[in-house]
């Protein structure tokens, strides 16, 4: 505040000094001019003084007005230029912002959002959510190059019949064939899901257990350690069948029925069979893969490829949920004759969001979102029943 007062006082003194100089110059010019006229035309001294004073007042007023306006315009232009330069520096040089305290950064973020959205509650909601991803210790993840292909078959394969899977021959189930590829970047650099000794895929017997895992609450929190989770919608007798498989046989049975493959970066490309163990839970099971890849990758970014098959009861919901911020997701679902599939989208907005991004024709839903990040917990629902 004192610094601003000193600057203002200096500005006033500079203006006063400049004005006095201009007045003296004007006075000198007027005096010389009228002295010359007096000598030439025989004016008296009183006439000379009257004319000098009268004209000097007019000249002085003009000079004062000009100087005040010029000073004001100059200050405004300087202020605008300085403000623009500060803004350009902050926006174009992140290292400048990095020198701010965390509290200053939050204030800057909130002010920026406030300038675009005037609603106080909306500003608070957006700034609070963004702050979560600024906390690098949180280990947040973002995903790019997200390509998800789902193929639906109206009948289970022969492997299910051979294994004695309940309902394999009586038309209770259809088969889902899933292939997912994406690039994941761990913002914290040490995300446990991608840096632990094993990499996990989770299968839950009911959606409630899976939601509990995603929300990191209760006994279902084991699923939060998986890089991908799926809800396995089957009849109770199928759950009993899986739970009854002997420990020394469970891996082989799961491998035959689900055919899981997991690759990260270059690891797993040359494996003849999926190298995993099965950890059974009361509400599902987790596949634990041992892969040899660089967990200390400096960029924290990995290329992930996941493949598996699984059974699902007819007249059920198949949900694609994007649990992490995802850029430009491509989701494709293909199905055969004899199947009736209806899509409901909740990507970012209401149920009709991004409808224009979906190609729909017989046997296909193809959703491609261009140049957009999709909010976490967004997704697409498919209702699948017999035609």
HEC profile of 187-239:
CCCCCHHHHCCCEEEEEECCHHHHHHHHCCCHHHHHHHHEEEEEECCCCHHHH
Sorted by where each begins, the domain ranges of the chain are 2-98, 102-134, 136-386
Please state, in angstroms and rounded to a whole number, the distance separating the CA atoms of residues 153 and 132.
Answer: 41
Question: What pLDDT, on the 0 to 100 scale, is given for residue 332?
Answer: 96
**Which residue in the block uniquely carries the two structure tokens 């992930």?**
304
Report how far Cα 222 is from the mean position of its chain's Cα atoms.
26
**Torsion angles phi and psi, residue 117, rounded to 5:** -125, 120
Pairing of strands 378-386, 316-322: antiparallel
Please state, in angstroms and rounded to a whole number, the distance separating the CA atoms of residues 10 and 72.
Answer: 14
Report how far Cα 250 is from the mean position of its chain's Cα atoms.
40
Please state, in angstroms and rounded to a whole number, the distance separating the CA atoms of residues 208 and 158.
Answer: 31
Is residue 189 within 8 A of residue 296, CB to CB? The reply is no
Question: What pLDDT, on the 0 to 100 scale, is given for residue 280?
Answer: 92
Q: DSSP letters of 162-192?
A: HHT-TTTTTT-EEEEEEEEEEEEEETTS--H
Question: What pLDDT, on the 0 to 100 scale, is given for residue 107?
Answer: 82
Question: What pLDDT, on the 0 to 100 scale, is given for residue 350?
Answer: 45
Task: Name the residue among 289, 233, 231 with its Cα closest to residue 264.
Answer: 289
pTM, 2 dp: 0.69
Secondary structure (3-state) at 84: helix
Secondary structure (3-state) at 258: helix
Report how far Cα 166 is from the mean position of its chain's Cα atoms.
44
Question: What pLDDT, on the 0 to 100 scale, is given for residue 308?
Answer: 96
Question: What pLDDT, on the 0 to 100 scale, is given for residue 272?
Answer: 47
Render each residue's pLDDT in the chain as its tens digit; 387 residues: 455 555 555 665 566 566 666 666 766 666 666 666 666 666 665 666 666 666 656 655 665 666 666 666 666 666 666 666 666 665 656 676 677 777 887 787 888 888 888 788 888 888 877 776 665 545 578 888 999 999 999 999 999 999 999 999 999 999 999 999 999 887 766 677 887 778 899 999 877 666 654 555 555 567 888 899 999 999 999 999 999 999 999 999 999 999 999 998 877 655 545 589 999 988 899 999 988 877 766 666 889 999 999 999 999 999 998 888 898 899 999 999 999 999 988 886 544 445 567 788 889 999 988 888 887 788 899 999 999
Question: What pLDDT, on the 0 to 100 scale, is given for residue 115?
Answer: 84
């Amino acid at each position: 505040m004192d610094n601003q007062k000193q600057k203002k006082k200096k500005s006033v003194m500079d203006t006063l000094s400049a004005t006095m100089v201009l007045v003296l110059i004007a006075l000198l010019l007027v005096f010389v001019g009228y002295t010359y006229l007096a000598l030439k035309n025989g004016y008296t001294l009183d006439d000379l003084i009257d004319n000098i004073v009268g004209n000097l007042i007019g000249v002085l007023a003009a000079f004062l007005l000009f100087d005040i306006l010029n000073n004001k315009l100059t200050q405004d232009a300087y202020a605008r230029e300085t403000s623009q330069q500060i803004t350009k520096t902050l926006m174009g040089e992140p290292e400048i912002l990095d020198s701010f305290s965390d509290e200053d950064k939050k204030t800057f973020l909130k002010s920026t959002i406030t300038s675009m959205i005037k609603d106080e509650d909306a500003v608070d909601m957006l700034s609070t959510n963004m702050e979560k991803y600024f906390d690098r210790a949180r280990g947040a993840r973002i995903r790019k190059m997200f390509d998800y292909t789902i193929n639906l078959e109206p009948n289970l394969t022969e492997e299910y019949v051979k294994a004695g899977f309940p309902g394999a021959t009586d038309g209770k189930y259809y088969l889902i064939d899933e292939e997912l590829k994406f690039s994941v970047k761990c913002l914290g650099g040490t995300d446990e899901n991608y840096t632990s000794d094993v990499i996990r895929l989770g299968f839950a017997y009911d959606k409630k257990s899976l939601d509990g895992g995603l929300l990191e609450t209760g006994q279902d929190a084991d699923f939060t350690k998986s890089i991908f989770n799926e809800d396995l919608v089957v009849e109770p007798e199928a759950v009993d069948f899986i739970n009854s498989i002997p420990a020394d046989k469970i891996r082989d049975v799961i491998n035959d029925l689900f055919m899981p493959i997991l690759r990260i970066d270059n690891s797993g490309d040359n494996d003849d069979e999926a190298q995993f163990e099965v950890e059974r839970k009361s509400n599902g099971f987790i596949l634990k893969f041992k892969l040899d890849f660089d967990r200390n990758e400096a960029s924290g970014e990995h290329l992930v490829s996941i493949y598996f098959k699984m059974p699902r009861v007819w007249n059920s919901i198949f949900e694609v949920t994007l649990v992490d911020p995802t850029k430009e997701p491509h989701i494709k679902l293909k199905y055969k004759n004899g199947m009736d599939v209806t899509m409901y989208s909740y990507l970012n907005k209401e149920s009709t969001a991004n409808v224009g991004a979906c190609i729909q024709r017989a046997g296909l839903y193809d959703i491609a979102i261009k140049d957009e990040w999709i909010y976490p917990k967004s997704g697409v629902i498919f209702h699948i029943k017999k035609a």
